[in-house]
Copies of this chain bind each other. A is one copy, B any other.
Amino acid sequence: MAKIKVGVAGYGTIGQRLADGVAMQDDMELVGIADLAPTLSLQALRERDMIGANGVKYDLYLVDGADEAAFAEKKIPVAGSFADLCQKVDIMLDSAPGGVGAANKANYYEKYGVKAIFQGGEKNSVADVFFHGYANYEKGVDQDYLKLTSCNTTGLIRSVDALDREFGIEKVAITIIRRVADPGDYHRGLTNALQMDKAPSHQAVDLMTIMPHVEATGILVHTPVTHGHIITVLATAKDGKKITKEEALKVFQKHPRIRVVSIDEGFKGNASLFKYARDLGNRRGDMYEIGLWEDSVVESGNDIMYAINIPQESVTIPETIDAIRAAMGMQKTREEGTAATNKNLGIGKFKEI
């Protein structure tokens, strides 16, 4: 069977990782990436002779308005225009800055009959389906345009969906302790302050869009760190049913994209997970799984409370690959789609030890 041809628009923090993720799939071909300016990320790619993950060559296409001379000055080879790329692919992963995706859809994807997966920065209206690989895979099957949930919502839903499938969840209240910048960011930052957002947080609202039978609300606080958000979740089961710590942990432990960790074994906080991923030798020091602290799980009456870690740079990659599988009809079910993604990304192997 022919490999699905995939392009990536925008080679920023997310786009690089999407390209890497596609390059690791045995049933997909990364046709190329597209960007506007010779960023440090592209200079780094060029220093490696345009070879990215898995030994794959990343061909670069330029979007409208790109300054070709600037790329030439940095000796970064160019393979063509964004229109060229669109004509070579079956589906585009759009990780352009917020708002640009909608314009790309109008100007390119519809014109060239290319399907597209948008990231969380776009409005929901850009897509047919607001998508999560585990929570509503089937809704995305054979659709043209899907939009992914944002990083926090993606990780949050993994855990809530897992509980929901086992116990039936009717209500969640979350506190998001948000990292305020990525490593290498200077344009945004916070110094010695915790900053409030107005409640409810959009992540709670987004969760309700994906899981409409759950009532969700929450408060978000920005913190001056870079290595992963932490979310505390209080989940209430339907009909006053009690969820015990042991039952909840069993559910979390069998989820391939949840890594149950503990303070005692050394995972003292979000920076431990970042360090662990580097020590694993993962490309860019990334981790696809969310962390869930075993020692954070407590019962609150009949409710269950726990804390998860969201590796914001990489957490949405698996669900985006799931989205390709759904939109292209490569696998028709959640079980098959997520399993194929997990196998190719090496997710869940550690569970078997």
Contacts and interface: CB of A to CB of B under 8 A. Distances in A.
A173 B300 CA distance: 7
A193 B270 contact: yes
B225 A44 contact: no
A198 to B, nearest CB: 4
Interface string A187-224: 01111111111111000000000000001011101111
Interface residues of A, number: 87
A65 interface: no
Nearest to A353: B75
B293 A184 contact: no
A119 B197 CA distance: 33
A352 to B, nearest CB: 11
B234 A234 contact: yes
A227 interface: yes
Interface string A260-278: 0001011111111011101
A107 interface: no
Contact of A217 (B180, B181, B274, B305): B305
A260 B190 CA distance: 24
Contact of A194 (B44, B230, B236, B285): B230
Nearest to A299: B217
A183 B275 contact: yes
A48 interface: yes
Given A191-B185, A224-B189, A300-B215, A293 B196 contact: yes
19 contacts: A45-B279, A46-B353, A53-B281, A180-B189, A184-B274, A186-B193, A189-B189, A191-B191, A192-B224, A193-B270, A194-B227, A196-B293, A198-B295, A199-B305, A215-B301, A218-B305, A221-B230, A223-B224, A284-B285
